[in-house]
């Protein structure tokens, strides 16, 4: 699946055989402004710099965001955690979102309910996504689509600062 970003670049969305989603974009190396990473980090409290190598210009950012468990804004949400990798490869800069997982919010009004951590394979592996009839399970398909949409938003936000 290919999505187009606001910057008219191709965002590649890949879902592997274990249902892991990754989103990536490849840009000319000279177009990236690595000095603006700190500006982005300062304006977004949902991301943290985990690793930076100034020599190779490799950056690892850990982030979290909220996704809805419905097609539109609702009270049913979950946290999505991810890793954003920025690295130079073959005279291009590759920006990837990987290592996605989810953490539920504790049940509203019930103290002591644990958060549950789930992975993409728990939501949209072939076995979890499709019923025996071959139709998609409604909630699982929404989580998959909302994850893809949020990954695209995150890449566009990163591009707005460093491209």
88-139: pLDDT as tens digits? 877 788 888 989 999 987 766 566 667 888 998 898 888 888 999 999 999 8
**pLDDT higher than threshold 90 for residue 40:** no
Measure the CA–CA gap between 90 and 150, rounded to whole angstroms.
Answer: 27
Q: Nearest CA to 75 among 108, 103, 45, 100?
A: 108
Question: Would you state the pLDDT for residue 109?
Answer: 57
CB 20 within 8 Å of CB 122 = no
Mean pLDDT, the chain, rounded, equals 81
Q: What percentage of the chain reaches a pLDDT higher than 70?
A: 88
pLDDT classification of 31: cutoffs 50, 70, 90: low
6-29: pLDDT as tens digits? 444 578 888 887 777 788 888 777
Q: Which domains does the chain have, with CATH numbers?
A: 2-162 (3.30.530.80)
CB 5 within 8 Å of CB 25 = yes
Distances (CA, A) of 149 to 61, 91, 155, 156: 19, 28, 10, 11
Three-state secondary structure readout of 75-137 = CCEEEEEEEEEEEEECCEEEEEEEEEEEEECCCCCCCCCCCCEECHHHHHCHHHHECCCCCEC
**Residue 113's CB: how many other CB atoms inside 10 A?**
12
Q: Nearest CA to 117 among 79, 151, 146?
A: 79
**pLDDT higher than threshold 60 for residue 49:** yes
């Amino acid at each position: 699946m290919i999505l187009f970003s606001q910057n008219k670049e191709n965002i590649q969305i890949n879902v592997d055989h274990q249902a892991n989603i990754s989103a990536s974009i490849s840009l000319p190396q000279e177009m990236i402004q690595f000095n603006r990473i700190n500006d982005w980090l300062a304006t977004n409290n949902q991301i943290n710099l985990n690793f930076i190598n100034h020599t190779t210009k490799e950056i690892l950012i850990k982030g979290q965001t909220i996704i809805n468990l419905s097609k539109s804004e609702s009270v049913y949400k979950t946290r999505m955690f991810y890793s954003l990798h920025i690295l130079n490869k073959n005279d291009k800069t590759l920006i990837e979102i990987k290592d996605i997982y989810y953490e539920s919010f504790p049940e509203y009004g019930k103290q002591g309910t644990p958060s549950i951590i789930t992975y993409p394979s728990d939501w949209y592996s072939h076995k979890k996504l499709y019923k025996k009839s071959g139709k998609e399970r409604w909630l699982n398909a929404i989580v998959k689509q909302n994850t893809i949409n949020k990954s695209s938003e995150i890449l566009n936000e990163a591009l707005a600062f460093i491209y």
